[in-house]
Amino acid sequence: MSKDTTTTNLTAENPAGENTIIPKAVTFALAQSHFLVGDITANADKMRQLAIEARGQGADVIIFPELALLGYPPQDLLLRPSLSGRVKSALSALSDIEDIVMIVGYPHVDHHGTFNSAAILHNGHQKGFYHKQFLPNYGVFDERRYFDKGRNQVLFDYKGITIGLLICEDLWEKTPISDLKQQGADLIVCLNASPFETDKQDTRKAMLAKRSSEHKLPIVYVNAVGGQDDLVFDGGSMVTQADGTIAHEASRFLDQLMLTTLDVETLKFDSQAKAPLSLSRESEMYQALVVGLRDYVNHSGFTGVIIGLSGGIDSALTLCIAVDALGSDKVYAVMMPYEYTSKISLEDAQAQARRLNVSYTVCPIFDAVEGIRHTLAPLFNQSPADTTEENIQARARGVILMALSNKFGHLVLTTGNKSELAVGYSTLYGDMAGGFDVLKDVYKSQVYNLASYRNRLEDTPVIPERVITRPPSAELRPDQKDQDSLPDYEVLDGILSLYIDEDMGYQDIIDKGFDAAMVGKIIKMVDNSEYKRLQAPIGTKISHKAFGRERRYPLVNKWSVEG
């Protein structure tokens, strides 16, 4: 199908009507707010409240994030037959909001197809709609599974200025903004649902500066905020001047109704008195993990979470994040010692729980493990111990945690990190048993950085120093250390991040200075662990390539490592 370059111009009437003097300014409200996936009625109610609030503060136009009416990403809810009816009802329920233009992200269904759209609502009328032209279908995105491509530019005149609409991916491409400029746009409004990745806000800023300055167009960029399954939308909505400088930036990770006023003659925005602090890399990662967990737990209706503390750094950091996300009173820690649990592990687990003021129980698993081993003894026929016996310990802990979860209704958090998950250094149904893996996308070396970061936030470190300094161990056999089976985490994470996050091949990784045999071994471990990851719980994506929907590998896979 060829791209249709027809331009639709929509001219809204002057909302005041009686006033023929061209106004000097237009005030925009950026509704950076969390809209729940599927909850169309509640989302429309929220839009109504925000519109009334913004109007009260003097806003002329309020802009909601991409697809906010349905939430993002709705996945196969977009295929439900009642979608169109629900959306229409919700949009018409918004039609009694007067004296403010609402730009609403929603899924548009008509006889031409299903579109990822923005509706222009004004004084009870739907004044027009724009359909997203560029549909991302890579990484975590599957938009071509659901949506048809929009083929028209949409602009509307309002209070003397001409506003062009774009949605998310459109702005990352060159042509849509260029087309709008040619059609006479004075200003671009862009609706987004851009998920968090480390350093993503810097990338967005650079892109916005480039697009604004190359076309001499101010841009109003509204992002979604909040967690949805494995994704976190980090807000950070922005307004740029025509020269590419940032006039306003909203907070990261928080709901915010941000107002900004454009001088209609100069086409310049008023400038923010004080921009929000730029977040350090650790700070933004940590906040993403907190928000991802908080929203998953709260929106799934759990009253709390339960964590198996081992005395090690992964569960220590998971505990901190859980407490920061949910509060101490909703976090339950259980230490499940066995034969190989060291005294300092017991001490450190208790110390963490005490410092963070969470419920703490010690539940030794001797009886469970012995019962299982006794059951198996006739079948094992005195075969020598191997990793089977280690897995039994891990699985006994999994059974205990799940039983506590079933009995008391708390969600089990798992504590596996990305390095472990990558190479399969974990036990299915054991330490992998649980509903949410907080550190799923955090490499072990990043776990250390985040632990130190969290400790720096308070006068008394919440994670005992020796948890950070002692050599990591799964404590599943005497004197076990992670580095008995794995290279140093610096080397491991170096190879893993090139292979996974950068999608580099065997030879290219070796060319970066890593040992060939080690690279081959690690890649093979990653490829062979796909079956474990398939059954892993979800966890918040913070990297450029997270395990889960972003990285789709076959289980049966005969791709050779080398080459």
The binding site for deamido-NAD(+) comprises 391, 420, 532
Q: How many residues does the structure list for the chain?
A: 563
> Rule CB under 8 A: which of 292-321 touch a second copy?
295-296, 299-300
Residue 127 and residue 102 in contact, taking contact as beta carbons nearer than 8 Å: no
Q: Which of 10, 238, 290, 433 binds a second copy (CB under 8 A)?
A: 433
By CB under 8 A, is residue 505 in contact with a second copy?
yes
For a second copy, what does the binding mask look like between residues 36 and 65, x meaning CB under 8 A? xxxxxxx-----------------------
In 57-184, alpha helices (H): 83-93, 169-172, 175-182
Nearest approach, Cβ of residue 483 and a second copy (Å): 23
Per DSSP, the three-state class of 493 is helix
How many positions of this chain bind a second copy (CB under 8 A)? Answer: 95
- Catalytic annotation on 205? no
CA distance 153 to 131: 8
Cis peptide bond prior to 472, omega within 30° of 0: no
The one catalytic residue in 46, 66, 205, 390 is 66
Per DSSP, the three-state class of 247 is strand
Smaller CB separation from a second copy, 160 or 409: 409
Tokens of 27: 């005030």
For a second copy, what does the binding mask look like between residues 170 and 209, x meaning CB under 8 A? ----------------------------------------
Q: Which of 245, 303, 406, 485 binds a second copy (CB under 8 A)?
A: 406
> How many Å separate Cα 427 from the centre of its chain?
26
Smaller CB separation from a second copy, 15 or 505: 505
By CB under 8 A, is residue 460 in contact with a second copy?
no
> Rule CB under 8 A: which of 258-297 touch a second copy?
295-296
The binding site for ATP comprises 308-315, 415
Smaller CB separation from a second copy, 61 or 225: 225
DSSP string covering 366-423: HHHHHHHHHHHHHHHTTPPP-HHHHHHHHHHHHHHHHHHHHHH-PEEEE---HHHHHH
CA distance 308 to 302: 17
Using the CB atoms, write b or e for 415-432: b if 16+ within 10 Å.
bbbbbbbbbbbbbbebbb
> Rule CB under 8 A: which of 342-401 touch a second copy?
361, 363-372, 374-376, 378-380, 383, 386-388, 391-392, 395-396, 398-400
By CB under 8 A, is residue 128 in contact with a second copy?
no
The one catalytic residue in 46, 143, 159, 168 is 168
- Catalytic annotation on 168? yes
- Catalytic annotation on 132? yes
> Rule CB under 8 A: which of 508-547 touch a second copy?
508, 531, 534-538
Using the CB atoms, write b or e for 544-553: b if 16+ within 10 Å.
bbbbbbbeee
Catalytic residue list: 66, 132, 168
